[in-house]
Every structure is written in C-alpha cells, then in structure tokens.
Copies of this chain bind each other. A is one copy, B any other.
Amino acid sequence: MNITSKSEIKRKALIDATIELVNNNGFHATPMSKIAKMAGVSAGTIYLYFENKQDLVDQVYLEVKAAFTSYAFRNYNEEMSVEKGFETIWKNIAEFKLKEVEEAYFLSQCDNTPIVDEPVRQQGLKHLQPLLDLWEKGQQQGIIKKVSPYSLYAFSIYPIAFLMNMQQRGVYQLTPEHIEEAYEMAWHSIKN
C-alpha cells in the first residue's frame, strides 16, 4: 500500500465532511466533533492533519479553489482563439458549478463571508491568471471590451454563481438550453 494512502484517505474524508457540514450549517455552527464523526475518525485525530479549525477551513478552501481552477482550464490552451478559449473556460466553470455543487457552494460561502481571511483568498485567486491573460489578449485584439477585469468577471463569470444558488434552492432548473442561453449572455456582455 502507498505510504500516504491511509492518511490521505482520512484527510480527504475530513475535507469532504467539512464541506458538507459547513454548507448545511455554516462554519461556526459546525463543531469539530461532528466533522470527526462524519469523517469516521476521532476528534483528536483532526489535529494530526490540521493545526486548528481555522487551518482546516483555510486548507479546504485552497484545495477546493485549486480543484475549481484546474477544472476551469480543462481542454483549454493558449493557442485557441479568444472566443473559443472563453467559451471553453466559461463552460468548464459552469459544468463545475453544476456537477460539483457542494464544492461550488462551499466556495461561494467562503467568498462572501469573513470565514477565510484576505491572504488566503488572495492565494486562492492566483490560478485564475490564464483567464485574465486571455481577456487581455482579447482586448488587444479589439474583441473584448476595454474595461477592468473585475468588470469582465462580474458580468460574465460571477452570474453563474447566482444561477447555481437558485438551482441549489430549487427555485430554478439549469437545463443545457439555459446554459447555452446564459453563455450567450455572458459573451455578449464582455465582447465588443
């Protein structure tokens, strides 16, 4: 058996339990003891893997964010045209938020509350660089609106989170047609 495998399994179990419980109850309403129980380990064991509760969420945040950005750039390469590249990335992100609902909802909770602090959040953002590069290239080519990348993000990527939240709450169904429709809106809002 792989040296790390057994402990990696426990670590993974702890992370999954944290995501599920924080999603349902919020960070501070999630006791370490419940996380331990759901992960099938003892309370003290958590502290072999994580320094303390804050370190636990921080690491969960960073790992989920990394998984998210990795997913976002699947099948993307810098040789693609700006439009094709954006479509690829946008749909990856949409697919992630649809398929990995728990992870996505966890991220949205961390991004909208003070449970992880600024430095950690900054660290989580660094992997999004290729999208910013793509936008800059598009702006140089006159394809993308010459506005701040924050605006581009706000109007093309951020809306996906809202649609996911609504679907999560059961008030809205994100069908494939809705996704295509939404992609068109995203693209129209940033293209020139």
Contact = CB atoms under 8 A, between A and B. Distances in A.
A10 B153 CA distance: 41
Contact of A155 (B26, B114, B189): B189
Q: Is the interface of A mostly helix, strand, loop or mixed?
A: helix
B169 A163 contact: no
Given A112-B112, A114-B24, A147-B181, A162 B172 contact: no
Copies of this subunit: 4
Contact of A189 (B163, B178, B185): B185
Contacts of A145: 185
Contacts of A186: 155, 189
Contacts of A6: none
8 contacts: A24-B114, A26-B113, A27-B28, A111-B112, A145-B185, A150-B162, A150-B166, A154-B162
Interface of A: 23-29, 108-109, 111-115, 118, 145, 147-148, 150-151, 153-155, 158-163, 165-166, 169, 171-172, 178, 181-182, 185-186, 188-190
